[in-house]
Structure 1
Amino acid sequence: MPAQTDEAVKTSGEKKPAPRDGRRGRKARRAQRAEGHAAAPAFITRRIPYYELLSEEGLQKIDDTADTILQEIGIEILGDPTALDLWRAAGADIQGERIRFPRGLVRRIIQATAPRSFVQHARNPARSVTIGGDSIVFVPAHGPPFVSDLEGGRRYGSLEDFRNPIKLAYASPWIHHSGGTICEPVDVPVNKRHLDMVYSHIRYSDKAFLGSITTTERALDSIELARIAFGQEFTDENCVIMGNVNVNSPLVYDGMVTEVIRAYAAANQGCVISPFILGGAMGPVTSAGAIAQAHAEAMVDVALTQLVRPGAPVIYGNFLSSMSLRSGAPTFGMPEPAVAYLAVGQLARRLGVPLRCGGSLTSSKVADAQATQESADSLTPALLSGANFILQAAGWLEGGLVMGYEKFVMDADHLGMMHSFMKGLPLDDNALALDAFREVGPGKHFFGCAHTMANYETAFFDSELADSSSYEQWRDNGKQDAVKRAHSRWTATLKSYEAPPLDQALDEELQAFIRNKKDAVEDAWY
């Protein structure tokens, strides 16, 4: 279990003195958020313990099962002879494109050189995030081809739709990372859109971001844009961009995936290795078997990064989900994957690597009660498991097919609540509040006492979306439900958005690289 730390949340900037009254304090806090979150947390440092689900004997059973899968059945890497050669040299048995691993080989490679934690640097150093240990990084939705909002409805994403969530994430004090493919901008050719996406993360935010992984060339372009933004020398020595890749479960890696992994690792940039297993389709219906499969799959390419470049930053990813065995549709927020997350967290700590889990997941088509229930029931076990990098933390709808604008800001508000939750229970003199008891005495209220006035800005989470007014106030304000309030929130945020500063010469260099790359190839829409 993690040690209790003195500071629950790492922040930048100075704390403002408390105003004299609560109304002014609330106004000041909201004004500060609207001004670009100058004191936004860079990441959360957890102060609650991990949930230890399994005994040492149980963990060993899963480890042994994963080793047996790797030794007897093996993993296929299709179309990447270089990756096969790396594994052959490391001592694996290669038959065609099937790799079988001596027991313990993969684990030894990981534990020898993979970092337990690392920093992904942001363009603004105050936004850099630590990934691993007791840190938690919230990251937006990743990969949807569609977007939706209350007025525009469900539609294919555009470049504007891609940039808008970047701006919303930049404006949110509760989202630590700009993410990657928050939605697919289908109005840009497939072979060129990665350039606009990476540039948009650099131009419209100064938080850390993910690059492209769809082909090796696009991964290399992403890394080169990062080198321009951060400088060649700095990029060679530090992680400034990462790629999130999935396994072709069960037990297959497409060669393009391993080529992309090798490209990021060779450049000393981060890889997030994520098996995506729907129980009953890409893995067994039993959770223990699916966990063992995911453990085996993730370990292989976590280890591959270390064969390419020992010490390369890497995250052990996990995306386990259930499915409806009647229809074949994926389901989210269900109890079985929630329990699985807890076990996966223990396996990652045992292995000694940072952990990625899914976040605010739902099958719902709109931001309704189902969406909030499933999202909360997906996010909470990820937090309790010890996940360090929580992808899909904001905006996910319809099983990952849709990035929802209202859902994005509703999720962000919930993430703010989780910041407070992860602080745990402080037990210092201020928290125990004896001075307040001495001042107030029996039978009086604490509302205006010195202790309350000194703590009122930070004592409770102050939701910007929840409505705690009286019925009459709510009625007179238009009877707005949560979705309508969220719609007003994101539209107002975009109207007040101001881009972070970017050096003009650097911007011109980025755009020149993009023009040259685009001019060199014909548009491809597939």
Structure 2
Amino acid sequence: MTQIQPRRSGGRAARHISRSTPLASNERPIRPGLEGGRYNPLGETDMARIHAAALTALEEIGLAGAPESGIAALTGAGAVLGSDGRLRFPRALVEDTLAKANRSVTLFGRDPLQDMQLSGARVHYGTAGAAVHVVDPEGRHYRESTLQDLFEAAKITDHLDNIHFLQRPMVARDITDNREMDYNTVYACCSGTRKHIGTSFSDKAHVADALEMLHLIAGGEDAWRARPFVSNSNCFVVPPMRFATESCEVMEACIAGGMPVLLLSAGMAGATAPSTVAGAIVQSTAECLAGLVYVNAIKPGHPAIFGTWPFGLDLRTGAMSVGSGEQALLSSGCAQMHRYYDLPGGSAAGAADSKLPDMQAGWEQMCSAVMTGLSGCNMVYEAAGMHASLLGFCQESLILGDDLIGQALRCVRGIEVDDETLALDQMREVCLEGPGHYLGTSQTLGRMEKDHVYPKLGDRTSPKEWDEKGKPDLIAKATARKNDILAAPGLAQFDPRIDREIRKRFNIHLRP
């Protein structure tokens, strides 16, 4: 048998230097904002029926629980307050809101290179959640999450190319005062990453503290309002079909402060939302449409993300099943509805029910991460690091998620078909004039960095090479990378003068 020898097209050192030189962002095989939308679990008729059912739910059932300020804004816009205390939304009101809502939202980073344009089917992956534990994969145990853990997650995220934003993934359980926890969360995230950040507030009074801090970080209120790099993740509803009064008041304060809002509806299919995939999508869509009317009644065109986040439920036990196939369908179906309305949208995908970063976590995370990305979801939340049905966050899994999402993004990018990629000229050259293989051809070498995604930690060696390298362990490699990142100076740290000003005004729990 003839042994294939790669054709040389230059020195090995020169080729290595060429491959190691970073590509321009527009030439990389994957990058933030790739266009998805190739996977469509819902047909056009299906989406029209979901829309019609959501309008009927809003018109006939409505939502209870709005604060007085919300009732005033919504009835002023055309909603009807019934004698039962529920606000109902005429179809014309919803349709008018859809016509004037902001369809292209930019979520800014402190570094302009990290800005994200949310429109169409442009896909971004990031963290999110409110985990109360940190996962130690080496010791195989869980402990309560701390502010230091949150800061470290932000710092790690800042180094990961395929984690495009940081929404607070865990709660600082070591801070018992809610006000201090809210502004310390903002501090820890902002001091850890230059990417866009999402956070929540437990009380409307806490928003002013955060805005004061953000004005200091940004260089003044005008600078903040021009480029707000933190958004409010707002659970404005308590499913089914009820406004969360306190969260709505927080939302109003954030809108007044110029902060983008994620309208987050997180019903549990079979518990707080219908058990069917279609029914859960209908309810979440209806709730987010109500939220969209609310936002635009307060400030027309304010940047808002249509956050349909229905979660799966294991109906045998009542446990969440965020790693299930049903979850993948829920989130990808919701992504289609975002595109149906042509609204910036987000859903949850990429989390695991598994307690550790193991094989179960791998299949659970990849299933929903790929499907939701292929569906063109603008913001894929909880896409890395989340375990135990959102109860645990793992820093090693966050790092491994960078590799996993890299492969998911390559699927999102899809297959380009043009004269060059069809490769007929290469086939003629190789088969009629060349050595009978494509190894080392100028086309193969020229596109190997532009077309292919290579894992940073994933192992593709042969068993012999793997054995010769000491049988490297994936978790151990992730831990080593984590330690390297955390040992290096942070790129997002504040100017010392600004940090002193913040610490003089606020009780910051992180050590300087």
Determine the structure 2 residue equivalent to 1:138: 125
Greater mean deviation of Cα atoms: 215-224 or 283-292: 215-224
Shift of 1:146: 0.6
- Contact (CA 8 Å) 1:413, 1:465: kept in 2 or not? yes
Encode CA deviations 1:447-496: one digit per residue, 9 max, x unaligned. Answer: 22222232232331110121111212212333334333322332233234
Determine the structure 2 residue equivalent to 1:161: 149
Q: Distance between the aligned counterparts of 1:284 and 1:359, measured in 2?
A: 19
Residue identity in the other structure for 1:211? T
- Runs of 4+ in structure 1 deviating by more than 6 angstroms, as ranges, are 39-42
Identity of aligned residues (%): 24
Q: Distance between the aligned counterparts of 2:80 and 2:122, measured in 1?
A: 37
Matches within 5 A, 1:341-380: 341-380=331-370
Residue identity in the other structure for 1:447? L
Partner SS, residue 86 of structure 2: strand
Number of residue-to-residue matches in the alignment: 492
- Say whether 1:182 aligns with 2:157: no
CA gap 1:41/1:248 in 2 versus in 1, 3 angstroms: farther
Shift of 1:318: 1.5
Matches within 5 A, 1:353-502: 353-434=343-424, 436-437=426-427, 439-442=429-432, 443-496=435-488, 498-500=490-492, 502=494
- Say whether 1:337 aligns with 2:366: no
Residue identity in the other structure for 1:295? T
Q: Distance between the aligned counterparts of 1:95 and 1:441, measured in 2?
A: 76
Shift of 1:205: 1.6
Shift of 1:97: 7.2
Determine the structure 2 residue equivalent to 1:297: 287
- 5+ residue gaps, structure 2, are 1-10
Determine the structure 1 residue equivalent to 2:4: none
Determine the structure 1 residue equivalent to 2:193: 205
Determine the structure 2 residue equivalent to 1:232: 221
Encode CA deviations 1:56-94: one digit per residue, 9 max, x unaligned. Answer: 43223222222222222221125x110111112122222
Q: Distance between the aligned counterparts of 1:134 and 1:102, measured in 2?
A: 28
Q: Distance between the aligned counterparts of 1:115 and 1:496, measured in 2?
A: 40
Q: Distance between the aligned counterparts of 2:154 and 2:428, measured in 1?
A: 49
Shift of 1:440: 3.5
Matches within 5 A, 1:107-122: 107-122=94-109
Greater mean deviation of Cα atoms: 61-70 or 407-416: 61-70
Partner SS, residue 259 of structure 1: helix
Q: Distance between the aligned counterparts of 1:25 and 1:419, measured in 2?
A: 24
Determine the structure 2 residue equivalent to 1:245: 234
Partner SS, residue 81 of structure 2: strand
- Say whether 1:82 aligns with 2:69: yes
**TM-score w.r.t. structure 2 length?**
0.88
- Contact (CA 8 Å) 1:74, 1:98: kept in 2 or not? no
Determine the structure 2 residue equivalent to 1:170: 158
Determine the structure 1 residue equivalent to 2:42: 54
Residue identity in the other structure for 1:346? Q
Shift of 1:428: 4.0
Q: Distance between the aligned counterparts of 2:188 and 2:250, measured in 1?
A: 21
Shift of 1:366: 0.8
Residue identity in the other structure for 1:185? A
Greater mean deviation of Cα atoms: 386-395 or 332-341: 332-341
CA gap 1:147/1:333 in 2 versus in 1, 3 angstroms: same
Q: Distance between the aligned counterparts of 2:29 and 2:492, measured in 1?
A: 17
Residue identity in the other structure for 2:379? F
- Contact (CA 8 Å) 2:125, 2:165: kept in 1 or not? yes
**TM-score w.r.t. structure 1 length?**
0.86
Greater mean deviation of Cα atoms: 228-237 or 118-127: 228-237
Shift of 1:258: 0.4
- Contact (CA 8 Å) 2:30, 2:410: kept in 1 or not? no
Shift of 1:237: 4.1
- Contact (CA 8 Å) 1:92, 1:99: kept in 2 or not? no
Shift of 1:420: 2.3
RMSD (Å) for aligned C-alpha atoms: 2.8
